[in-house]
Amino acid sequence: DWTPAAFVHETVEKIKAQVGDKRVVMALSGGVDSTVAAELIHKAIGKNLFCIFVDNGLLRKDEFETVLESYKHMGLNVKGINAKDLFYGKLKDVSDPEQKRKIIGGLFIDVFQQEATHLTDISFLGQGTIYPDVIESVSVNGPSVTIKSHHNVGGLPEKMNMQLVEPLRFLFKDEVRRVGREIGISDIFLGRHPFPGPGLAIRILGAITPEKVNMLQEADHVYVEGLKEAGLYDKVWQAGTILLPVQSVGVMGDERTYEFTVALRAVTSVDGMTADWAHLPYEFLAKMSNDIINKVKGINRVVYDISSKPPATIEWE
C-alpha cells in the first residue's frame, strides 16, 4: 500500500544514492510541485541543493516577496532574481497568446541558465515534474493538435545537459499534497490554486504593460482575498481575474469614466481537463464587483464568466 511516509523515506534514500555528494540546481515556481520536490531533495542533500526563484513580473500581488520569504524560512538555499524588466521588455506589443508563452518560456530558460552557470560543480537538475506533466508533454509534443503549449516541462533539460532528479515523477497531484503534508510544507503552498506558468500574461488579453499588470494584480488580490474571507476559496478548483482589452463608459460621482473591464473566473474541476463554471453566490459576486470597482483605479465594469470547459478553456488565452 502506498503511504506518504513510506514514499518520503524511500525517495530520500533514492536521492541520496543518486546524487551522493554532488550538487543539484533547481528552479522554484511557488507552486505545490516544485516546493514539495525541493523539500524532498533538501531532506536528502541539504545545502547541496541550490534553488532559483525568478520574478518574471507576472506573479500575483506581493507573491514573489512572500513566497521567497517562505522558502528561506523552510531552510532552502534559494536565490531570488528580479527579472521583471527583462520580461516586460520582450513582451512589449506582443498580443498573441502562444507567442507570449514562447517568449516567457524562453526567457525563463535564459535567466535560469545564466544563474546556473555562476554555480560551480553542479551535476544535477531538480524538477517538480509530476505524472500528468509527463503524459501531457507527450501529447503536447505529439502529432495531436496543440491547444496551449505549456513550457514548464520541456526546454530546460535538453538545454542544460544535466541529469534529472525528479522525485515526483510518478505521483498525481493529490499524492503530492499528501507527501507535502507529511513533510510539513505550509498550507500556503499545499492549499493553493493552480496558477499557469506564464502567469498574468495570459490573463491580460492583448499586449501587456506594467500598468495593466498592476491593475490586474490589484483586482486579483481583492477577488482571491474575498474568496478566502467568504470560505469559498477551497470550494473551487481555480479562480482568477482576466483583464479585457475593452474600455467602456461608466459614471463615478458626476464624472463620465471610460475604463477597463475585468472578468472574474472560478471553476470546479478534478484535473483541469474539464471544468464547470462555479455557481458562486450572487451576494458574493455583487460584493466583489463593488470592491474591485471602488479599489482598483482604471476599472469600471466587472463581469462573471459562465462558460464551462469544453467548449471554453479555463484561461482565456
Interaction site with ligand XMP (CB under 6 A)? 101, 148, 150, 152, 194, 196-198, 238, 272, 309, 313-315
- 30 known ligand binder: yes
**Residue 57 Ramachandran class (φ > 0 left, ψ -120 to 50 alpha, else beta):** left
Nearer to ligand XMP, 90 or 309 (CB): 309
Q: What is the CA radius of gyration of the chain?
A: 20
33 known ligand binder: yes
Give the shortest CB-315-to-ligand XMP separation in angstroms.
3
Between residues 103 and 125, which has the closer beta carbon with respect to ligand XMP? 103
Residues 37, 39, 40, 46, CA torsion sign: positive
**Cell numbers linked to 83:** 527579472
- Closest contact distance (angstroms) between CB of 313 and ligand XMP is 3
Does 35 show up as a binding residue in the annotation?
yes
Pick 13 or 98: Cβ nearer ligand XMP: 98
**Is residue 248 a known part of a binding site?**
no
Q: For residues 45 and 75, what is the distance between their CA atoms, to the nearest angstrom? A: 12
What one-letter code names the amino acid at 2? W
Shortest reach from residue 229's CB to ligand XMP, in Å: 23
Kindly provide the b/e burial profile for residues 235-253, where b requires at least 16 CB atoms within 10 angstroms of the residue's own CB. Answer: ebbbbbbbbbeeeeeeeee
* Residue 184 vs 311, nearer CB to ligand XMP: 311
Closest separation between CB of residue 311 and ligand XMP, Å?
11
The CA distance from 39 to 188, in Å, is 15
Select 150 or 192, whichever has its Cβ closest to ligand XMP: 150
Cβ(248)–Cβ(240) under 8 Å? no
Question: Alpha-carbon distance 264 to 223, whole Å?
Answer: 8
Using DSSP bridges, classify how beta strands 255-268 and 238-252 pair: parallel, antiparallel or unpaired: antiparallel
Closest to ligand XMP by CB, 105 vs 126, is 105
For residue 34, say whether it is annotated as part of any ligand binding site: yes
307 annotated ligand binder: no
CB of 39 to ligand XMP, least distance (A): 20
The nearest distance, CB 197 to ligand XMP, in angstroms, is: 3
Spell out the alpha helix ranges (H) of 46-96: 63-73, 84-91
Q: Which three cell numbers stand for residue 226?
A: 474575498
Q: Among 106, 101, 133, which Cα is nearest to 32's?
A: 133
Q: Extract the annotated binding site.
A: 29-35
Q: Extract the annotated binding site for ATP.
A: 29-35
